[in-house]
Amino acid sequence: MTDSPQPPPTALSRLWGLLRPYRWRIGGLSLLISATAALSAASPQFVRYALDVVIPSGQVRDFVVFGAVFAAFYVVQALLQYAGMYQSFAFTQSVVSDVRMQAWRRLLHLPVPHFAEERSGSLTSRVVNDVNALEGMIQAGATRLAGQLFSIIVIAAILVAMNWRLALVNLVVMPLIAGVTRYYQDPLRRAAKVIRERVGEMNAVSTEAVGNIQVVKSFVAEGQEEARFRKENDAYVAKNLDRRKDVGFMEGLVTLASNWGIGALLIVGGWMAVQGTLTVGELTAFLLYQRQLQRPVISVTFFNNQLQAGMAALDRVAELLDAVPESEGDRESVPEGDLVFESVRFAYPGTERPALDGLDLCIERGRTAALVGSSGSGKTTVTRLMGRFHDPDAGRVTLGGVDLRDFRLSALRHAIAVVPQEPTLFSGSVAENIGYADPTSSRARIEEAARLANAEEFIAALPQGYDTPLGERGVKLSGGQKQRIAIARAILKDARILVLDEATSALDSESEAIIQDALGGLFSHASGLTSLIIAHRLSTIEAADVIHVLENGRRVESGSHAELLEHGGRYATLWEMQYSGELGVAG
């Protein structure tokens, strides 16, 4: 008998899950705020006492004592109020900061295919915008709400103790307020979630356009991007207006009910005062209490708006927190050995044609292997499976006889350095970009890596040398300079396996020659290095120990450059086509 699936957690249980580690802090904060609320609840009694006792007595001493107590009372209340507000804000910031870090940590550990399913702008919106939207709900719910509920209970008890008949008049509107609030709860939450999604879409559109701004400008597509953003912006505004209609109508009904309560209190209480069963001071205190009661009741009601907006944001954050992270094994050490693909089959999500179809491949330890083949033959897919950015649908990939899925991801990826065709640089300095491979590296190690990568000369010519900011994606550098920074980064990583994924395919001949020299520095630096080169120009892999030719996701032949030419197979055809000018690229 199988266990029945567990129901998904409710929104409130999710919220409590986030707040539970802070339960003692919430308790202390609630006591502080409740103490402030209790003092506020006592203030109308000063008015009643002044009207019914101090003023009729006509004694100067009574006025002096009353004034001193009154002033001291409000000093204490002000101090408690300040402490409560500050601690409430500090608590909220702590919770939101922790949730933001949890969301960011989970985002960083999501499988690579997840990033193809949801646009990066929408994902980052969950971490930033949606987490920020929790702030109002947490501050209002976990802190102020406790004081407001306490105020309602205390004031209701005082009213009953003063005059239970008049208290009934005062409290009769409460069910009406509660009913209105409950009626609008679900529609407001659904609307708030749609609004959060629209914010995510706006963020995605803007992030995509800014990230590809050179393409946008080169195609004179500013108008297209403006239209795309306007569409999302208009949808956001429309949904916000729809929600605001409901919020305004609900708030209006609540305020109307509260004011009806005051009117009823004036009529009934005034009649009781005329009859002599209620003093003027008691009636005034009742009216003040009604105002005091109205504020927390309306606040609790309006908190429902914050709650629904916050819960909608929490739903989106929870979807991220609940996403399944990358799977990994528990082996910390990565053995020396051959990297072997055993009958590997793999298709990218949403595609039917396999990128690898029963691939058998061995990259021997300490040797340089090359992969060649036409576009779509599976070369880059091999590198993605090596780093476990994807896993095989069938078959397995092993290193030293151990399935890659048995290793901890950090251990496996530390063992592999990749120099891609389009290197990714960050907006930090040159030194920070090289040191990205090892943040603990000294400046001397960073400079040595740059020297080996043939990058020392152009770095010295930069305005601030190694401290020069590179701008987003390294926009201040040429393609060849970016590539040398990437090679320096790979040298600094000091990995045992090096992957060159068409590292020179986008460069001109002069830049390619410089990069080849830089790669020579890398190879000379790392003895016993296992290398895999994905070739664009076949001339760059002539010296490889073994060349594997891929076609339709399978290895069709292997051998040295000379052996493959002599064999007269697919490699010989590619070589002849490339150098006869019939084929511009081979990868």
Higher-scoring residue by pLDDT: 93, 171: 93
Amino acid, res. 202: M
What local confidence, expressed as pLDDT, does residue 341 receive? Answer: 95
Please tell me the pTM assigned to this model.
0.70
Dmax (CA) of the chain: 121
Among the residue ranges 4-8, 17-21, 255-259, 273-277, the one predicted with the least confidence is 4-8
Residues 414, 332 contacting (CB under 8 angstroms): no
Please check whether residues 117 and 254 belong to one and the same domain. yes
What local confidence, expressed as pLDDT, does residue 584 receive? Answer: 43
What local confidence, expressed as pLDDT, does residue 164 receive? Answer: 82
The answer on pLDDT for 507 being more than 60 is no
Closest alpha carbon to 40 in 158, 166, 177: 158
Half-sphere exposure of 216 (CA within 13 A, CB side): 16
What local confidence, expressed as pLDDT, does residue 501 receive? Answer: 83
Higher-scoring residue by pLDDT: 279, 587: 279
The answer on pLDDT for 224 being more than 70 is yes
Mean pLDDT confidence for 479-498: 85
Please check whether residues 317 and 432 belong to one and the same domain. no
Number of domains in the chain: 2
Higher-scoring residue by pLDDT: 341, 242: 341
- The last residue of one of the domains, among 494, 514, 529, is 494
What local confidence, expressed as pLDDT, does residue 356 receive? Answer: 93
CB contact set of 17 (below 8 Å; sequence gap of 6+): 9
**Could you tell me if residue 253 is inside a domain?**
yes
H or E element, residue 303 = helix 280-321
The pair of three-digit structure tokens given for residue 539, joined into one six-digit string: 């001339």
Provide, rounded to the nearest whole percent, the portion of the chain with pLDDT above 90.
11
What local confidence, expressed as pLDDT, does residue 519 receive? Answer: 63
Identify the band that residue 399 occupies on the pLDDT scale cut at 50, 70 and 90. very high
Higher-scoring residue by pLDDT: 135, 584: 135
What local confidence, expressed as pLDDT, does residue 181 receive? Answer: 72
For the chain, the C-alpha Rg in angstroms (whole number) is 35
- Across the strands, what pairs with 416? 497
- Across the strands, what pairs with 356? 346
Please check whether residues 104 and 245 belong to one and the same domain. yes
Distance CA 446, CA 320 (A): 36
Sequence length of the chain is 587
CB count in 10 Å sphere of residue 214: 10
Among the residue ranges 174-188, 344-358, 365-379, the one predicted with the least confidence is 174-188
Please check whether residues 317 and 428 belong to one and the same domain. no
Q: What is the mean pLDDT of the chain?
A: 80
**Could you tell me if residue 587 is inside a domain?**
no
Mean pLDDT confidence for 143-168: 78
Identify the burial level of 442 via C-beta atoms within 10 angstroms of its C-beta, where 0-12 means exposed, 13-18 middle and 19 or more buried: exposed
Q: Residue 322: phi, psi to the nearest 5?
A: -85, -10
Higher-scoring residue by pLDDT: 513, 102: 102
CB count in 10 Å sphere of residue 264: 16
Please check whether residues 90 and 204 belong to one and the same domain. yes
Please check whether residues 300 and 172 belong to one and the same domain. yes
Q: Find the CATH number of the domain harbouring 313.
A: 1.20.1560.10
Identify the burial level of 95 via C-beta atoms within 10 angstroms of its C-beta, where 0-12 means exposed, 13-18 middle and 19 or more buried: buried
- The last residue of one of the domains, among 441, 469, 494, is 494
Identify the band that residue 2 occupies on the pLDDT scale cut at 50, 70 and 90. very low
The answer on pLDDT for 59 being more than 90 is no
The pair of three-digit structure tokens given for residue 572, joined into one six-digit string: 């010989």
What local confidence, expressed as pLDDT, does residue 61 receive? Answer: 85
Domain that holds residue 63: 11-321
3 state DSSP class of 532: strand
Half-sphere exposure of 203 (CA within 13 A, CB side): 19
Amino acid, res. 80: L
Residues 368, 533 contacting (CB under 8 angstroms): yes
SS3 content of the chain, % helix, strand, coil (to 5): 65, 10, 25
The answer on pLDDT for 278 being more than 50 is yes
Please check whether residues 315 and 431 belong to one and the same domain. no
Mean pLDDT confidence for 124-130: 79
Residues 338, 363 contacting (CB under 8 angstroms): yes
The answer on pLDDT for 526 being more than 60 is no
**Could you tell me if residue 560 is inside a domain?**
no
CB count in 10 Å sphere of residue 198: 19
What local confidence, expressed as pLDDT, does residue 6 receive? Answer: 57
β strands within 381-485, DSSP E? 394-399, 402-403, 416-419
Tens digits of residue pLDDT in 303-329 = 766 676 677 778 888 888 888 888 888
H or E element, residue 446 = helix 443-452
Higher-scoring residue by pLDDT: 430, 139: 430
The answer on pLDDT for 509 being more than 70 is no
Highest mean pLDDT among 80-84, 211-215, 304-308, 360-364: 360-364
CB count in 10 Å sphere of residue 291: 12
**Could you tell me if residue 288 is inside a domain?**
yes
**Could you tell me if residue 453 is inside a domain?**
yes
**Could you tell me if residue 69 is inside a domain?**
yes
**Could you tell me if residue 118 is inside a domain?**
yes
The answer on pLDDT for 405 being more than 90 is yes
Please check whether residues 302 and 437 belong to one and the same domain. no
Distance CA 370, CA 574 (A): 14
**Could you tell me if residue 274 is inside a domain?**
yes
Provide, rounded to the nearest whole percent, the portion of the chain with pLDDT above 70.
85
Please check whether residues 438 and 315 belong to one and the same domain. no
Closest alpha carbon to 370 in 197, 541, 120: 541
What local confidence, expressed as pLDDT, does residue 582 receive? Answer: 46
- The last residue of one of the domains, among 478, 494, 510, is 494
Higher-scoring residue by pLDDT: 366, 256: 366
